[in-house]
């Protein structure tokens, strides 16, 4: 008898691909369903443990992440090629997220209302769904699992997390830390790929996905068909708008960081730079210079800003995207053992070019002219995505017009397109997001559903 080969889950160091961190057999769909069943059995106990127990468990996770910060940052550097400074910032953010949600179990979960007629009480109350199935990408291996799991656990769900295969070691380490603080089966990491992801969507009581748009849409469709609440945070094709009155040096610095930081592998990276009127010439020069000055190389080096791409295929498709276009900065592929691409700015990109339609997910952006603000807004809104836009101007009135006209979920004035505050709602429009927002109080709503109770007096009124 022959048995079908079990696919491997493999993760390797993108800066030194011979360095393999994880190679394990994929657990498969049955193991996923089993993990969900165990999480379901543990959920009532976790809820009934009470607000103080859940709060103190989340606080303990925050403290443990803080204590292990150096080791965790080094692991993110090694497994997903995140430059050390950003990796440290991500671990600090993950700890802050757990600390923030550690207060959530004590938040009011409802309200008391007057009956429309007669005596009694009407109560509303939010309750957890059961098992939260979380599917995450590789690019924020600690922060994204944390900003999903912490609110889900705070309000009394249990969690099964399926991380991206490329970030398996980070997820397993996160599991060790969280599992020290919570009872068995309350938080499970199930490694895997599409098979395990699909199985999780088929079994969980609420689904939160972050990743690419095609996969997110499939996940949202499958969860919706089961009648299960779902949110999907997906890709971006984000623009930076630069007005003639902007501080051009400041704008160039922010935009260069948003193009090149972590090799452009963020959903909030800038990939279109729209210069209005006379901003074009000075911005063209300042941004080209800023991109040429970006330190590229070993992500373990504290000064590196642009490390490797996650895969060879990811690097190849970035290089393919800029091929044949006039290059203002970058445009080469540094030698490596790793998969590097230089931060690159191109111009004269024809409408319909892939760079202006699809998320390339690398350190490359197109510089485009616009006649005026209205034209710049039309260009910004012309793509299928709507995650974030940065607007660079000294004039608060112009900034306010931008707020009204842009169709992206987040607008950042005189700031890089990248970078989010963990306590505010996060998400976009169009192909960038599906369903309710993540983070902040919005997440507490998403991981619960409402109940309405009527409490009438027992016996006959005298
Ligand atoms: P991906 O879509 O390839 O994978 C995301 C996750 O989905 C992984 O865990 C993967 O194993 C799983 N998966 C794959 N196929 C599946 C299926 N059929 N059913 C269920 N799960 C499945 O994305 P990625 O390459 O890991 O991450 C990069 C993408 O993530 C980019 O598009 C980026 O913009 C996006 N992203 C978005 C945000 C945001 O908040 N909007 C944040 C970070 C990354």
Q: How confident is the model at residue 403 (pLDDT cuts 50, 70, 90)?
A: confident
In three-state secondary structure terms, 297 is coil
pLDDT at 1: 41
Is residue 55 in a domain?
A: yes
Residue 279 and residue 186 share a domain:
no
Say yes or no: 254 and 189 in one domain.
Answer: no
CA-closest residue to ligand 1 atom 30: 211
Domain assignment of residue 164, given as a range: 19-112+119-234
Q: What percent of the chain has pLDDT over 70?
A: 98
Which pTM was predicted? 0.97
- pLDDT tens string 354-398: 999 999 999 999 999 999 999 999 999 999 999 999 999 999 998
Ligand 1 close to Cβ of residue 359 (< 6 A): yes
Number of domains making up the chain: 2
For a pocket test of ligand 1, which of 10, 138, 214, 215 has the largest count of ligand atoms closer than 8 A to its C-beta?
Answer: 215
Q: Whose CA is nearest to atom 42 of ligand 1?
A: 267
Asked if residue 123 is part of any domain, the answer here is yes
CA of 116 to the centre of ligand 1 (A): 48
Whether 69 and 196 map to the same domain: the answer is yes
Cα 352 to ligand 1 centroid, rounded to whole Å? 25
Average pLDDT over residues 249-278: 98
Q: Which pLDDT tens digit goes with each residue over 184-211?
A: 999 999 999 999 999 999 999 999 999 9
| pLDDT above 70: residue 2 | no
Q: Is the CB of 197 under 6 A from ligand 1?
A: yes
Q: Which of 234, 260, 291 delimits the end of a domain?
A: 234
At residue 461, the pLDDT reads 56
Identify the pLDDT of residue 61: 99
Same domain, 41 and 165: yes
List the CATH number of the domain containing 103.
3.40.605.10
Ligand 1 center to 459 CA (angstroms): 57
Shared domain for 172 and 103, answered yes or no, is: yes
Judgement on whether residues 351 and 392 belong to the same structural domain of the protein = yes
pLDDT over 90 at 417, yes or no:
yes
**Rounded CA gap, 380 and 36, in Å?**
42
| Residue 449: inside a domain | no
Query: Ligand 1 centroid to 136 CA: how many Å?
Result: 6
Ligand 1: centre distance to CA 177 (Å): 24
Per-residue confidence (pLDDT) for residue 402, from 0 to 100: 82
User: Of all protein residues, whose CA lies closest to atom 13 belonging to ligand 1?
Assistant: 194
CA distances to 22, 196, 336 from 25, rounded to whole Å, are 10, 12, 29
Separation of alpha carbons 266 and 327, rounded Å = 22
User: Going by CA atoms, what residue is nearest to atom 22 of ligand 1?
Assistant: 194
Partners of 272 in the β-ladder: 239, 366
Tell me, in angstroms, the distance from the centre of ligand 1 to residue 27's CA: 19
Shared domain check, 353 and 298: yes
Question: Does residue 444 belong to any structural domain of this protein?
Answer: no
Q: What is the pLDDT of residues 131-170, one digit of tens each?
A: 999 999 999 999 999 999 999 999 999 999 999 999 999 9
**pLDDT 10s digits, 220-251:** 999 999 999 999 999 999 999 999 999 999 99
Q: Which of 2-11, 107-116, 164-173 has the lowest mean pLDDT?
A: 2-11
Q: Are residues 102 and 50 in the same domain?
A: yes
Whether residues 208 and 74 fall in one domain:
yes
Which ligand 1 atom is at minimum distance from the Cα of 200? 20
Tens of pLDDT along 51-65? 999 999 999 999 999
pLDDT beyond 80 at 3:
no
Same domain, 178 and 203: yes
- Does residue 97 register a pLDDT over 90? yes
Residue 228's alpha-carbon distances to 188, 192, 201, 207, in angstroms, are 20, 22, 9, 7
211 in ligand 1 pocket by Cβ < 6 Å? Answer: yes
Regarding the beta carbon of 267 and ligand 1, being less than 6 Å apart is answered yes
In percent, the amount of the chain with pLDDT more than 90 equals 95
Q: Is residue 460 part of a domain?
A: no
The reply to whether 90 belongs to the active site is no
Q: Which of 234, 256, 288 is the last residue of a domain?
A: 234
188 Cβ inside 6 Å of ligand 1: no
Give me the catalytic one of 166, 267, 342, 438: 267
With beta carbons less than 8 A apart as the criterion, state whether 155 and 104 touch: yes
**CATH number assigned to the domain comprising residue 402:** 3.40.309.10
Q: Using a 6 Å cutoff on CB, does residue 218 contact ligand 1?
A: yes
pLDDT of residue 5: 63
Last residue within a domain, chosen from 217, 234, 251 = 234
Task: Output phi, psi for 87, to 5 deg.
Answer: -65, -40
37-86: pLDDT as tens digits: 999 999 999 999 999 999 999 999 999 999 999 999 999 999 999 999 99
pLDDT score recorded for residue 6: 66
Residue 5 zone, left/alpha/beta (φ > 0; ψ -120 to 50; rest): beta
In the residue annotation, 170 being an active-site residue is answered as no
Q: Are residues 297 and 326 in the same domain?
A: yes
Evaluate whether 5 touches 123 at the Cβ level (below 8 Å): no
Burial level of 372, CB count in 10 A (0-12/13-18/19+)? exposed
Is the distance from the beta carbon of residue 130 to the nearest atom of ligand 1 less than 6 Å?
no
Residue 301 lies in a domain: yes
The residue from 196, 233, 347, 438 that is catalytic is 233
6 inside domain: no
**Residue 84: closest CA among 338, 302, 260, 294:** 302
Confidence of residue 439 (pLDDT cuts 50, 70, 90): very high
In-domain check, residue 433: no
Clarify whether residues 192 and 293 are in a common domain: no
Q: Going by CA atoms, what residue is nearest to atom 26 of ligand 1?
A: 137
| Average pLDDT, rounded, for the chain | 96
Q: Which tens digit of pLDDT belongs to each residue from 271-318?
A: 999 999 999 999 999 999 999 999 999 999 999 999 999 999 999 999
- CB of 29 sitting under 6 A from ligand 1: no
Residue 330 has pLDDT above 70, yes or no: yes
């Amino acid at each position: 008898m022959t048995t079908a080969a079990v696919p491997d889950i493999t993760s390797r160091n993108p800066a030194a691909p011979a360095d393999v961190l994880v190679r394990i057999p994929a657990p498969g769909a049955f193991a996923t369903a089993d993990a969900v069943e165990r999480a379901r059995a543990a959920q009532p106990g976790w809820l009934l443990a009470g607000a103080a127990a859940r709060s103190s468990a989340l606080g303990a996770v925050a403290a443990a992440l803080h204590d292990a910060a150096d080791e965790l940052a080094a692991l993110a550097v090694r497994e997903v090629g995140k430059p050390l400074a950003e990796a440290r910032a991500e671990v600090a953010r993950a700890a802050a997220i757990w600390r923030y949600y550690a207060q959530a179990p004590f938040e009011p979960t409802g309200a008391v209302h007057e009956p429309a007629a007669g005596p009694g009480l009407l109560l509303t109350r939010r309750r957890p769904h059961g098992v939260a199935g979380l599917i995450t990408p590789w690019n924020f291996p600690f922060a994204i699992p944390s900003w999903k799991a912490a609110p889900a656990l705070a309000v009394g769900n249990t969690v099964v997390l399926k991380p991206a295969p490329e970030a398996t070691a980070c997820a397993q380490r996160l599991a060790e830390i969280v599992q020290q603080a919570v009872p068995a089966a309350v938080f499970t990491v199930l490694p895997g790929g599409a098979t395990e992801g699909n199985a999780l969507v088929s079994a969980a009581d609420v689904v939160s996905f972050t990743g690419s748009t095609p996969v997110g849409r499939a996940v949202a469709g499958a969860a919706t068909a089961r009648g299960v609440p779902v949110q999907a945070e997906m890709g971006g094709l984000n623009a930076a708008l630069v007005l003639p009155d902007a501080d051009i040096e400041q704008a160039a610095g922010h935009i260069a960081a948003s193009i090149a930081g972590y090799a452009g592998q963020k959903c909030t990276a800038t990939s279109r730079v729209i210069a209005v009127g006379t901003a074009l010439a000075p911005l063209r020069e300042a941004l080209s210079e800023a991109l040429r000055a970006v330190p590229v190389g070993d992500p373990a080096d504290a000064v590196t800003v642009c490390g490797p791409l996650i895969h060879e295929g990811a690097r190849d498709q970035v290089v393919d995207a800029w091929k044949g276009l006039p290059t203002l900065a970058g445009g080469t592929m540094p030698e490596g053992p790793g998969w590097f691409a230089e931060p690159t700015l191109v111009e004269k990109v024809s409408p319909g070019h892939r760079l202006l339609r699809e998320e390339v997910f690398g350190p490359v952006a197109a510089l485009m002219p616009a006649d005026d603000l209205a034209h710049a807004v039309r260009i910004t809104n012309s793509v299928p995505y709507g995650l974030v836009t940065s607007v660079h101007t000294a004039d608060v009135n112009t900034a306010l017009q931008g707020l009204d006209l842009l169709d992206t979920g987040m607008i950042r004035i005189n700031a890089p397109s990248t970078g989010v505050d963990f306590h505010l709602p996060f998400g976009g429009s169009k192909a960038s997001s599906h369903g309710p927002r993540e983070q902040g109080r919005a997440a507490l709503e998403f991981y619960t559903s409402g109940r309405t109770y009527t409490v009438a007096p027992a016996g006959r009124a005298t």
